[in-house]
Structure 1
Amino acid sequence: MIAPAVSTIGAGLSGLALGLSLKSKGISGKIYDLAPGIPRFNYGITLHASTYRPLLGLLKMDEATFRKETAVDGARGEPVIWKDRTHLVKFERGLGFKTRCLAGCDGINSSVSRSLMHKVDADVHPFVAFSGRRRVPTDVFVKVFGQSMAENVMIVHHNGAARLEITISDMTSEYVILGYIYSRQTRSQGSTKDPLHTPLRPSPGAKLTPPALYDEIEALGNLPQPFNTIFHAESMRNDRLLHWLLRSRRPQIDHSKQLADRGAFIIGDAAHGAPLLGGEGANMAITDGIDLAEHIAKRGVDTAAGFSNSKYESWIKFVDESVQRLRDMHNPGGRRH
């Protein structure tokens, strides 16, 4: 098959922002993504105005409409084999293509990065985090949550070292989907390990909820409403829960050089992983996609080294600030909720 000018692996935020921006500049491209079905878990994200405003012209949408109607989700990409600055991309079903311009936008576990150089592990930070979802009838939402969330899509409560968060993920005339997160720093003491902190667990372990979590929720006692309704052990047993590992990965100059030498552009979480809490990775992912399209339009597709060098310092700052926000969120005297 004939390769497009820019082949993008991953249809998450960075990949879609890149593709849309390239199209607006008349540069051909194609996005490849593995999406086995509708994801069981979806999440709300917070976008800064400085991030989404450059997209409005591309989307042909005014700001009011964007703020009212836009929702996004993401997926993951596929393996790559590199040879002689031409990338041979192979998919599980035997399909493939060759391309001279490859953009890896496939997340913190990037198959593109792993295929082009040795694996770079992310740092797992000493925090416990569990995310859940619950559907609440609209009349119940108004009665229980209405006063607290009438003007806020997110509310936060601190109970000792624990941080409790409730967000509105979706709303219809019949029901409201609420997302919630229980998080805290680890409590390991000496040889006694925190039963809720398993940094070496495999990916499928994200769907396994340790019984100790429910014991810990019960020990919180009588929380103020509406937190008492959401963070109720027996109710949580019926919810969809995910055990998050709060990871980050700082860009390394030698790794960036290896990828650039192979002619690959790596952006978004594939280039600079930030924790799910406090990371604001969605904003940086969109910015990366727009910036890369501008770079390619001005300098061509054989300038990966120049792009990574221009972004390196800002990526380092982004990851470091994200980790600090995570710490502040769990510090009662910190600067952020």
Structure 2
Amino acid sequence: MPQPPIPIIGAGLAGLTLSRCLLHHAIPSIIYEKAPKKASNNYAITLNRSTYQPLLSILKIDEADFKQRVGVGVAVDDAEREIGGGADSMGTTTVRVNRAKLEEVLREGLDIRWNFSLQSIDTTPTAGTAKTESRLHFANGEELQTAFFIGADGVHSQLRNLFLPPPASTVQVLPYVVYNGKRRVDRSVFDTEYATAGLGGGGGIVQVKHKDALFRISLDSLGRGDGGGEVVGISWTYSRPAHPSSSSSPPDPDPLFRPNRSLASALEIPEPLFAELVTMSTLLPPLLSARFTTDILKKDRILHWLMRTTATASLPVLQRLMKETGACMVGDAIHAQPILGGKGANAAMEDGVSLAEAIAAKGRAGVEGWYEERFEGWRRGVEESKGVIGEMHRVEARQAGGNL
């Protein structure tokens, strides 16, 4: 009897990696993704070599080929530079990759059903057995009955919200102001106005710090524009701790920190942000500073980012949930780390590789042991990420003396 496909909720890095690794083990799966189409995700992330190397044989490509297909690289002065490559603070070899290209490689050969937003789950005992089955209800009216499924639906996981009580179901927003902007420029403009100012070498990242505020500019991609010419994707990130409310009555909150904003209002950018950005841009090399005036910045696509984490549910709770409902959770759905300071992409992909191996070895019975192996690393990773983002914004003794 053919093995029924394992349902995976979510087509992010955890879900894609898991499904691709299951395919390698000849185990069928179907990904159900709430988005109506694939997300663009055209930005750079940092991967540890230890994260992507186990995938190379599964993807049937060598390391050089992998970097060629997904890496963020721009030839500068006739030398191909590996953008953002090197070693992280722990001495681990890393490489900067374009997430959209990475997801494109991972999607090859997978069965992905778009516009499947999970709404609710009914769990019932299977007649005559000690097992249970779950019926998944989607917003498009479709239903799916299964005895085993995997939640890889990210930090806003509907599966986590349905099954886990607070605090495990609660998303925590760390008190940091973070804004990200993106722009695309012609290659000739990049070479004359960005690369010569330092962005083309030394890892493709320029960062300046003023007291507790950071301004970081990096390369995201190299591609072709509508006219066929080369265009370079550039992103910048501005971050600082949220300022405490003033002592006035009523207290005046930090206008740039909006922890309760809606998803849609991420595009609503407060005017005071531009004054802070211009202050930071004066610390850049002159050629680069000239590309970050208020007028130019307002043409960028800017998003307000929230630094979200989740409290990992206890190990017994996760194992009991698996036994009672057939639900397993991976990636940000169960151990989200903040974008700054975290290594969520690496953790999610490592979840996918290791869970596929556990399922290939023991079927769904392998999940309990897999949870035991991964759990402490999840908990430690979330806590370490909070420490890293704090250290990133720590005021050096010589810089002390107030905020922007």
Q: Same fold (TM over 0.5)?
A: yes
Separation of aligned partners in 2, 1:202 and 1:218: 27
Alignment-derived partner of residue 250 in structure 1:
311
Distance apart, 1:144 and its partner CA: 1.7
- Offset of 1:5 from its aligned partner? 3.8
In structure 2, give the amino acid aligned to 1:165: R
In structure 2, the gaps of 5 or more residues are 71-97, 104-113, 125-131, 224-228, 398-404
Q: CA deviation at 1:65?
A: 0.8
What residue number does 1:72 align with? 99
- % same residue: 32
Secondary structure of the corresponding residue to residue 155 of structure 1 = strand
Map of 1:208 onto structure 2: 268
Instruction: Tell whether 2:289 aligns with 1:228.
Output: yes
- Deviation at 1:300? 1.6
**Structure 1 residues 112-137: Cα deviation after superposition (integer angstroms, max 9, x where no partner):** 11222346111111110000101112
Range that drifts further, 273-282 or 37-46: 37-46
The farther-off stretch of 144-153 and 122-131 is: 144-153
Moved more, 265-274 or 152-161: 152-161
Equivalent-residue separation in structure 1 for 2:178 and 2:290 (angstroms): 19
Aligned length: 333
1:1-337 counterparts in 2 under 5 A?
Answer: 4-37=4-37, 39=39, 42-70=42-70, 71-73=98-100, 78-84=118-124, 85-118=132-165, 120-147=169-196, 148-151=198-201, 152-172=203-223, 173-188=229-244, 189-190=246-247, 191-220=251-280, 222-225=282-285, 227-253=288-314, 255-257=317-319, 259-260=321-322, 261-333=324-396
What CA deviation, in whole Å up to 9, does each residue of 1:182-224 have, x standing for no partner? Answer: 1111112443321111111122121111112123223446232
| Shift, 1:3, TM fit | 8.6
- Contact 2:313–2:334 (CA under 8 A) maintained in structure 1: no
Separation (CA, whole Å) in 2 of partners of 1:40 and 1:11: 12
Q: In 2, are the aligned partners of 1:158 and 1:332 still within 8 Å (CA)?
A: no
Name the SS for the 1:164 alignment partner: strand
Shift of 1:62: 0.6
Residues 42 and 221 of structure 2 are in contact (CA less than 8 Å); yes or no, is this contact kept in structure 1? no
For residues 252-303 of structure 1, what are the alpha-carbon distances to aligned partners after superposition, in whole Å with 9 as ceiling and x for unaligned?
A: 2065245334221100000101001121111111000011111112222145
Note if contact 1:134-1:239 (Cα within 8 Å) is conserved in structure 2: yes
Contact 1:134/1:178 (<8 A) preserved = yes
Would the alpha carbon gap of residues 128 and 24 (structure 1) be closer, same or farther in structure 2, given more than 3 Å must change?
A: same
**Cα distance, 1:79–1:304 mapped onto 2, change above 3 Å:** farther
Residues 258, 180 of structure 1: alpha-carbon distance in 2 compared, 3 angstrom cutoff: farther
Which structure's residues are more often strand, by fraction?
2
In structure 1, how many angstroms separate the alpha carbons of the residues matched to 2:23 and 2:46? 25
How many angstroms apart in 1 are the aligned matches of 2:174 and 2:290?
A: 29
State the alpha-carbon separation in 1 of the partners of residues 43 and 317 from structure 2: 30
Greater shift, 183-192 or 302-311, is seen at 302-311
- The 3 A distance-change label for structure 1 pair 100 and 211 is same
Q: C-alpha displacement at 1:86, in angstroms? A: 1.4
Shift in alpha-carbon separation, 1:241–1:206, aligned structure 2, 3 A:
same
Higher Cα radius of gyration: 2
8 Å contact kept, 1:263–1:303:
no
Tell me the distance in 2 between the aligned counterparts of 1:69 and 1:17: 16
